[in-house]
Each structure stands twice: as C-alpha cells, then as structure tokens.
Amino acid sequence: MKVQIMSPAASRVDFKVPPAPRLTTFEGKTIGLYNNMTGGADIAVDRFAERLQERYPGVKFERYGGDLRPGRPVLSRGVHIDEAEASRIASEVDAMVGATAH
C-alpha cells in the first residue's frame, strides 16, 4: 500500500507591495481603526487609540468593522474591505491601523 501525504498549506505567492509613506506628524491627522470582528481585535484597536491619543492629543479616529457605518458594507471575518470600500476609507483617513486578533 502506498500513502501520499499532502500539505493543507496554500501555495506561496511572492509579491511585494511598497510600504505606505510615513506620516511626518500625527497632529491634526485622522487615523482609521479597522477591527475585523475577531475576538480581541476591538480591544487591540481601542488600546492603540488610547496610547496614541496620550502622545498626540490632536489626533482623531474613525472606526471601521462590523456595522459601524450605516449604508456601508458590514465588515467582518467573512466580509473584507473590497477595492471600492478601501478607496472610500482612504479618502476619509490619513493612515490606517488594522487588528486581526484571536
């Protein structure tokens, strides 16, 4: 009898995405906080916002994930940001932080 062992891992995809330019300051900036609705992601983005607010009191935050945005996609573990929503978010914030906890 012959046994073939298969790996469940996906094939590796090699591509490079250049990093976004760094902000020179957080003063007066709006930071998007994306919570993908996994356990603890909300805590992670909230903690990040608290810490950044302590250092830069003028920073503002916009939250994304779940059903926080009426008329917009309900973002979750199974429904991710698509290209149209990503463009819309990019027009609303200066930078984005995402949490995919669990």
- What are the average pLDDT values for consecutive 10-residue runs of the chain, which has 102 residues? 82 78 92 88 92 94 89 82 89 90 62
User: Rounded to 5 degrees, what angle do the CA atoms 54, 22, 12 make?
Assistant: 115
- pLDDT, position 16: 79
Do residues 35 and 66 make contact, with C-beta atoms less than 8 angstroms apart?
yes
Q: Taking the model in full, what pTM does it have?
A: 0.75
- pLDDT, position 13: 73
Do residues 30 and 89 make contact, with C-beta atoms less than 8 angstroms apart?
no
Every domain of the chain and the residues it spans: 33-99
| Long-range own/partner contacts, residues 2-6 (CB < 8 A, 24 or more apart) | none
What DSSP character marks residue 43? H
Distance (Å, whole) CA 90 – CA 92: 5
